[in-house]
Amino acid sequence: MSQQISAVPAIELRGVTKRFGSVVANRNVNLTVHKGEILSILGENGSGKTTLMNMISGIYFPDEGEIFINGEPAVIASPKDAFDYKIGMIHQHFKLVDVFSATENIVLGLGKAEKYDLKDAEERVVEISQRYGFEVDPKKKIYTMAVSEKQTVEIIKVLYRGADILILDEPTAVLTPQETQKLFAVLRRMREDGKSIIIITHKLHEVLSLSDRVAVLRKGEYIGTVETAKTNESELTEMMVGKKISLNIERSEPKDPQVRLEVHHVDCTNRQGTLVLDDVSFSVNSGEILGIAGIAGSGQRELLEVIAGLQKTDSGAVLYHNPKTGNVDLLQGKTPLQIRELGVRLSFVPEDRLGMGLVGNMDITDNMMLRSYRKGKSAFLERKAPKNLAEQIIEELEVVTPGTTTPVRRLSGGNVQKVLVGREIAASPTVLMAAYPVRGLDINSSYTIYNLLNQQKEQGVAVIFVGEDLDVLLELCDRILVIGGGKVTGVVDGRTATKEQVGLLMTKSEGGEQA
Amino acid sequence: MSQAIKKHHEPLIHITKRDQMVWWKGWLIRAIAILAALVVSGGVIMLLTGLNPISVYAEMVDGNFGSSRKLWMLLQKTAILLCIALAVTPAFKMKFWNCGGEGQTLAGCIAAAACMIHLGDSMPGWLLILVTFVMSVCAGALWGVIPAFFKARYNTNETLFTLMMNYVAIQLVEVLEVLWENPKNSGTVGVINRNSQAGWLPDLFGQRYLLNILIVAAVCILVYVYLKHSKQGYEVSVVGESQNTARYVGIDVKKVIVRTMIVSGAICGLAGFLLVSGTGHTIGPNTVGGQGFTAMMVSWMAKFNPIVMILTSGLIIFLQQGATAIATTFRLHDSLADIVTGIILFFIIGCEFFIQYQIHFRRSRKEGVEK
């Protein structure tokens, strides 16, 4: 039996096209996945990976083209249909009910034919876990779980429903290196069990270590599929980007580093009443890039917002050494406006670009004004200087836009970020904070951002870089501050530290409970 | 194995978002929508009354443009509605859902009437008008700033708060009606200063309403400039789009909320002044007559653009006047006029969907696939 069926692909896409308005998200994509195979979908952000997977899992419906499941033409018009075809998708953003236990979430939404028997379900959950090597407590409530556990629940959920084809959308984005290895071991066991696995990622080393074949998308177009064993990083990058690029980030020695910013024993409680920063102390020097590493949500955002005057502290101090006056100014407890009036030139590229750094519905010129519109005594706006700045940034950073009057939300992620970083750098800061500045950016744009940060560093700016990709942090930063659960768990030298070392520090604060 | 899988049908209709449309196509769709609306409501009229729809429409036009008096009424009513719509717009741009246009305008009316009644004899005419004007604007601003203060301070729900403030204002007018009753036992305030005409806005070039219209035209330009070219207007937009961004660039969000609602309420107060001092010279619970709510629709239909609001407010008044005209001429019940107005508005607002989205049917899609 297996001989015959395995000749037929588990899933096959022929000429699939999906458009959003005039934007073609996928054009004429052909793809096959066999039984017992791990296929990576590789492509830069905006290349259409997620759209393609959403069509397989019934969230979008293709405008053109056909999908075959086990050789039969299939119409997948809803996620329910996808279940019927034994397709399960694990989304980037988990869809779990916080107050329910793992098992309750897993059986949630099952068909009426299934009997609701929690005890029976728990047994099956345990059975599935043992079969593939998951570690999960079926009775544990979701809100007490770490991110990796929640992901495990999502995966078991689709297996429980009998999925034979699993799609994982950037599953490693939220995991530490150690957790990633565990996940990969599980996925390999599923492959041995005859499941077909599609994994979306843009991390090249993961592709190479895990998958059997790699399908590459670029700007919505299907470029080709290669066997992992017969390829390498630079070939894949070339397929992804369309041209050869160097993958090295420059790192110069800091020149004349002097303490620019000090954070002393800062505690901070968020609106929900949880302690998000716990006795955080560190300092940043001029002319260096300080990296901040940590699992998502370990207090990185709050830390930057405390410095920027957007978040109140419970206790502790933030001190700024003004290079012009030689004064030491206290920043905490001040509003962003008061901080600026002190003469502190602090630029901040926040994580939420369109929700905080920019106004999506305003055009580029009006977004340039956000920082500078108060200038002058007139009650009216002066749009000439911002317009010039907009034109200058568009030209220098090669922003792809129809013009300065285009609302920024219509730009692609990389161009949005260029506009934001461009504006923040134009304020000639002495401290530049950037939270996940390359998230969602293609390789070219990412390197543009790294270069800009390096330029700022060479001009003597104290740069704080919050990143998620440890490889990049280790290549770019002079020092790396690691935080876990709101605590500083270590500061390492970016030139000598290893990925494993940083990874261990990331989980240190919760290390006690984890196996 | 594949038999076990249910066969699924392709969805019958399939909706996709359009890219930005060429401007003339958008207007073409709107024109078609109005035509379709006239055809549908024509059918409804024929079905319900047996009247010839063409003559009904002719009567609608006649009801607005038939005489210079009707034309002036159209312009005057449009001006008042436009004024209230302009008032709620800064708040709407800030995503502060001010449903209190009715109450804020009525507060302006109360202040105007109070000034005219109690100060009528004590000062020269021009000063009385000035004092009345200032007091009305302040009263409107006060009615607007109360919910804004609570929103900024305690994050109360502005929709409910402003709505409730409307009822407070209406009840207040009912109390004052008893106090200001004239003549006794009439149950109404009657025309204030009928003989002296103290506090009445003067006629301009022999036209009673011209001054009202010119004032609102000026307000329209001011609001446009305020929102588009002033620093405060810019702050309103930033706060409306994203409070996080506003905080990030150091805008005091609470201050902007309070300030904008003062502006919003003040313009409502001005509308109240125009209603009492410039139009009716009296006050009652129905002086504003629901225009505070209609104004919200006017503002939305114009997508918060003050200049386009001239069109949308004009359209609404045209429909209302025309509806009243057909109701009287053909001795129909008022409800029929409301039905026609409803149908036309439904089409005009509904056609925006077709400007935003495109619809594909199953058959046309299949052909594309099989090629």
SS3 (DSSP) at A15: strand
As a whole number, the mean pLDDT across chain A is 84
Quote the pLDDT of residue B20: 67
Alpha helices in chain B (DSSP H): 23-49, 53-65, 68-93, 101-119, 125-154, 158-179, 210-229, 231-241, 243-248, 253-275, 291-301, 306-329, 334-356, 362-370
For A482-502, how does the pLDDT look when each residue is reduced to its tens digit (9 = 90+)?
998 888 888 999 889 888 888
**Is A194 touching B (CB cutoff 8 A)?**
no
Tell me how crowded residue A274 is: count the other CB atoms within 10 A of its CB.
9
- Helices A413-426 and A443-458 cross at an angle (nearest 10°) of 10
Number of domains present in the structure of chain B: 1
The boundaries of the domain holding residue B225 are 52-329
- In this model, does residue A464 exceed pLDDT 90? yes
Res. B370: pLDDT tops 50: no
User: Looking at residue B15, what DSSP letter applies?
Assistant: E
CA distances from A441 to A43, A447, B329, B359 (A): 11, 9, 67, 33
The pLDDT of residue A512 is above 60: no
Nearest to A75 among B8, B234, B245 (CB): B8
Quick one: pLDDT at residue A112?
Answer: 64
Confidence of residue A481 (pLDDT cuts 50, 70, 90): very high
Percent of chain B topping pLDDT 70: 92
Where helices occur in A294-400 by DSSP H, the ranges are 300-308, 336-341, 364-372, 384-396
Which is it for strands A487-493 and A479-484: parallel, antiparallel or unpaired?
A: antiparallel
Whether residue B86 lies inside any domain: the answer is yes
Nearby residues of A230 by Cβ (< 8 Å), 6 or more positions away: none
Work out the percent of chain A whose per-residue pLDDT is above 70: 95
Q: Which of B262, B229, B234, B261 is nearest to B246 (CA)?
A: B234
Of A26-30, A485-489, A503-507, B335-339, least confident by mean pLDDT is B335-339
Domains of chain A: 2-241 (3.40.50.300), 259-510 (3.40.50.300)
pLDDT tens readout for residues B245-268: 998 988 889 999 999 999 999 999
Residue A1: per-residue pLDDT: 38
Q: Is B5 exposed, middle or buried (0-12, 13-18, 19+ CB in 10 A)?
A: middle
Q: Are strands A479-484 and B357-361 parallel, antiparallel or unpaired?
A: unpaired
Closest residue in A to B9 (Cα–Cα):
A75
**Shortest Cα distance, chain B CAs vs residue A35, angstroms:** 15
User: Residue type at A418?
Assistant: K
pLDDT in tens, A28-67: 888 889 888 999 988 876 778 888 888 888 888 888 888 8
pTM over 0.90: no
The pLDDT value given to residue B8: 55
A20 and B2 in contact by Cβ < 8 A?
Answer: no
The answer to whether the CB of B328 falls within 8 A of the CB of B118 is no
Contacts of B2 in chain A (CB under 8 A): 69-72
Contacts of A193 (CB under 8 A, 6+ apart): A36, A131, A132
Would you call B2 and A70 a contact, using CB atoms and an 8 Å cutoff?
Answer: yes
- List, in order, residues 6 or more apart from A156 with CB less than 8 Å away: A102, A106, A125, A128, A129, A134, A136
Mean pLDDT of A88-117: 80
Please report, in angstroms and rounded to a whole number, the separation of the first and last CA atoms in chain A. Answer: 41
Q: What is the pLDDT of residue B362?
A: 63
Q: Chain B contact for A366, CB < 8 A?
A: yes
CA pair distance B322, A43, nearest whole angstrom: 60
Residue B141: predicted pLDDT: 94
Q: In this predicted model, what pLDDT tens digit does every residue of B67-113 receive, in sequence order?
A: 888 899 899 999 999 999 999 999 999 999 989 899 999 999 999 99
Let me know if residue B27 belongs to a domain.
no
As a whole number of angstroms, the distance between CA B73 and CA B88 comes to 23
A398-447 pLDDT tens trace: 887 888 888 888 887 778 888 898 898 888 889 999 998 887 777 778 88
User: Of A275-279, B81-85, B181-185, B271-275, which range is least confident?
Assistant: B181-185
Q: For A184-198, A306-320, B343-357, which range has the lowest pLDDT when averaged over its residues?
A: B343-357
* Contact: B234, A381; criterion CB under 8 Å: yes
Q: Which has the higher per-residue pLDDT, A304 or A399?
A: A304
Three-state SS for A47-60 is CCHHHHHHHHCCCC
CATH number of the domain at B74, please: 1.10.3470
Max Cα–Cα distance, chain A, nearest Å: 82
The answer as to whether B257 is a domain residue is yes
- Percent of chain A clearing pLDDT 90 (strictly above): 8
Nearest chain A CA: its distance from B369 CA (Å):
6
The pLDDT of A85-112, averaged and rounded, is 83
pLDDT at residue A272 above 80? no
Domain-located, residue B154: yes
Q: What is the ipTM of this complex?
A: 0.76
Residue at B367 is within a domain: no
Residue B44 forms part of a structural domain: no
Report if residue B266 sits inside a domain.
Answer: yes
Neighbours of A510 (CB within 10 A): 13
Q: Residue B238: which of B227, B279, A495 has the closest Cα?
A: B227
Residue B242: its chain A contacts at CB < 8 A? 354-356, 359-360
- pLDDT (0 to 100) of residue B19: 66
Q: Is residue B338 part of a domain?
A: no
pLDDT digits 0-9 by tens, A226-255: 888 888 888 888 888 777 666 677 788 888
The predicted-structure confidence for B186-223, as pLDDT tens digits, reads as follows: 778 778 877 777 778 777 787 788 888 999 999 999 99
Q: Between chains, do A370 and B249 touch, taking CB under 8 Å as contact? A: yes
Decide if pLDDT at A510 tops 60. Answer: no
Q: Looking at the partner chain, which of A357, A360, A381 has a beta carbon nearest the beta carbon of B231?
A: A381
Mean pLDDT of chain B: 85
Integer distance in angstroms from the first to the last C-alpha of chain B? 30
Per the CB < 8 A criterion, the answer to whether A227 and A239 are in contact is: no
Cα nearest neighbour of B14 on chain A: A61
Residues of B with CB under 8 A from a CB of A: 1-2, 5-11, 14, 16-19, 229-232, 234, 237-238, 241-242, 244-245, 247-250, 252, 365, 368-369
Across the range B141-150, mean pLDDT stands at 93
pLDDT digits (tens, 9 = 90+) for B20-52: 677 788 888 888 888 898 889 888 888 887 878
